[in-house]
Structure 1
Amino acid sequence: MENLLELSDVSVSFGGIKALSQVSMSVAANKVTAVIGPNGAGKTSLFNVISGFYPADTGAVVFANDNLLKRPAHMRSILGISRTFQNIALFPGMTVEENIKLGAHAQLRTNLLSAAFYLGPAKREEAAITADIGKRLLPLLDLDEYRHRSVSGLPYGVQKRIELARALVNQPKLLMLDEPFAGMPPPEKARMSSYIRRIVNETDLTALLIDHDMESIMNMSDHIVVLNFGSVIAAGSPVEMQTNPAVIEAYLGGE
């Protein structure tokens, strides 16, 4: 199976504290890979290294045969990496379509003059992005009915889908999801799981996520990597992780 992302011996430290210690893992293309572990295990640090927010002390992060550690953070989006965050960061005074459109900054090719005066190239670019949102993203995430509505007052689960659509507007290769189920009741978690699976199954996109909701992760993931104290202690299928003694002891509640 082809891997889209590979980490080899990645270590990150802050002073004398090791956030990540020789982490090696792979993310298979067009699959859902989940990273789990207790609080403080290094999950967010791992995401921040891949995103370029944290530098790595050692190791390599190879994405589509490109060493990300040699690229500045803003290049990661251009290369095809998109990320959502745990806290919703939508603009309440704007419509759903406008909020989604804001995620298209990495696609824009017009120069500053064209954009400033909204000349032909800039207008054509925006028209193409608007058309793509209507044709591809709104149906994919069942957001058509909300297209021209203000995001203010929309249900939390709908807002999470809007944020997901904004991350997808650049047509990334890798979608990184930071706690996509946080704050959701069980029915909304199940819906979000189904949308993530739909995106991966119906497109060429690969999903990498971190979360604490074990039921959702076990039901939707193809591969799971388990971190504890900044190190990988296990990796495999959901069934394998549910029966792995080290995982049970570290995270799943073994006696």
Structure 2
Amino acid sequence: MGGTLLDISGVSVAFGGIKALSDVSLGVAPNKVTAVIGPNGAGKTTLFNVVSGFYPANEGAVTFDGVDLLAMPANRRSATGIARTFQNIALFPGMTVAENIKLGAHHLLRTGLLAAAIYLGPARGEERDITRRIDETILPLLDLGEYRDRSVSGLPYGVQKRIELARALVSRPRLLMLDEPFAGMNTNEKARMSQYIARIVAESDLTALLIDHDMDSIMTMSDHIVVLNFGRVIAAGTPEQVQTDPAVIEAYLGEE
């Protein structure tokens, strides 16, 4: 799979006698939006969990920019340039928007525990650099500046989803994995989130891999779509190719 940032090759995952993934292969091209779709139980989240390191693969290989991810523990994979959001919001309600976003950069800190605890010079400098990046880059990119110093508690759901996205971005990832970014949103919120994801990929030299069920959003914003059904890849291609694929229509999209 030449010209890809993330290569997934022949991955199989079984839980007891149940095969969640069977010989799944796909490539994620750099600076593009790749979506993985399929019915409930198709294996989408399992695939994400293999890449993130939450689930082991029984067979196959996963490489990120040539690095063997399956040989690496989960807690080291973010350092390679991978960030992930989750379907369920996990913000800290007692903290401000800026403070929540800043938590996403904790693994980038190079100062030791003692220096951070007593806020010595190097720790202070690192914190200042992260704050500057949030204020000058992250908040404007996602139109969150007006919420900077507000508690996340009580903010609109769509805004909270953008805050989670910002928290992932502050770690400077090259691959952003989005787990159902449109879940729970109304039509307007979905449209705005689609625009933000497209803007991030266009302006941040970043690659997006996402799973979701909202076909309007997926078809509008994706460069490449992979379709899973019962743990197997049944189709892959552009949105136009996937929409007209007979196997996809039968398994997922349905006849109009």
In the superposition, the TM-score normalised over structure 1's length comes to 0.99
Q: CA deviation at 1:82?
A: 0.3
Code of the residue aligned with 1:206 in structure 2: it is T
Q: CA deviation at 1:203?
A: 1.4
Q: How many residues align?
A: 255
Structure 1 letter corresponding to 2:33: V
Counting only pairs closer than 5 Å after superposition, residues 147-186 of structure 1 correspond to structure 2 as 147-186=148-187
**Counterparts of 1:98-137 in structure 2 under 5 Å?**
98-137=99-138
Provide the rounded CA distance (Å) in 1 between the counterparts of 2:43 and 2:64: 20
CA distance in 2, matches of 1:56, 1:20: 9
Within 1, Cα distance between the matches of 2:235 and 2:77?
27
- 5+ residue gaps, structure 1: none
Is 1:25 aligned to residue 26 of structure 2?
yes
Q: 1:239 and 2:240 equivalent?
A: yes
User: Aligned partners of 2:251, 2:226: CA distance in 1, in Å?
Assistant: 13
Counterparts of 1:51-66 in structure 2, within 5 Å, are: 51-66=52-67
Between the aligned partners of 1:74 and 1:223, the Cα distance in structure 2 is: 29
4+ residue segments displaced more than 4 Å: none
1:213-228 to 2 correspondence within 5 Å?
A: 213-228=214-229
Query: C-alpha root-mean-square deviation of aligned residues, in Å?
Result: 0.8
Query: In the alignment, is residue 49 of structure 1 matched against residue 50 of structure 2?
Result: yes
Is 2:93 aligned against 1:89?
no
Opposite residue 249 of structure 1, the aligned amino acid is: E
CA distance in 2, matches of 1:179, 1:243: 23
The one-letter code sitting in structure 2 at the alignment partner of 1:118 is Y
1:214-241 deviation digits (Å, cap 9, x = unpaired): 0000000000000000000000000000
- Deviation of 1:105 (Å): 1.2
**Structure 2 gaps, min length 5:** none
Partner-residue secondary structure (3-state), 1:167: helix
Look up the equivalent residue of 1:169 and give its one-letter code.
V
1:254 Cα shift? Answer: 3.0
Query: Which residue number in structure 1 is paired with residue 191 of structure 2?
Result: 190
- SS for the counterpart of 2:178 is strand
2: CA distance, partners of 1:58 / 1:87:
29
TM-score, normalised on structure 2? Answer: 0.98
SS of the aligned residue for 1:3 comes to: coil
Whole-Å separation in 2 of the counterparts to 1:250 and 1:151: 40
**Pairwise CA distance, 1:2:** 2.0
